[in-house]
Structure 1
Amino acid sequence: MAQPPRRPRTLADARTEAEAAFKKTTTKVAELPPKPVAIPGVKEMVSLRIDQDVLEYFQDGGPGWQDRINDALRKAAGK
């Protein structure tokens, strides 16, 4: 299939096309890192700031308060 004849270009058009071609071949495409696979039952240590009254609410239930916070966050996340 033959391409249609090109119209005459001015110097500015040629420069613009050349710059566009150069930019296209030299610009890196940003790649997102792969999302890590969540392994069920594996917990990750994080630092989290929680209002004191909220923390006391969960701690008043005795041992297991971290699991109760995790359960509440899981429910809020729809998991």
Structure 2
Amino acid sequence: MTKKHEIYMPTEEEDAEINRGIAADPDTFVPSDEQFARMKRRGGRPRSESPKVSLTVRYDADIIEAFKASGDGWQTRMNDALRDWLKDHQPA
């Protein structure tokens, strides 16, 4: 059985001391409201022009094993194989 860790909350005096330390740190930067408003959120990758669709599908084990055996990128190769098949066939 694991022992639960207790959350330690600083007293008001300890919290004030922590904040004084933060304010005294020369590397601390507190942006003004105007600077904060100009900041742009960055993160994640750009949106794809043709996003993928997540779904659950079932294939025979030997098909999956064959694609996996071809190494990293097997799902992309499987997608390409299906796309190639569609060039010559009409789905029912």
The TM-score with structure 1 as length reference comes to 0.47
Bigger Rg over Cα:
1
Higher relative contact order (CA 8 A, sep 6+): 1
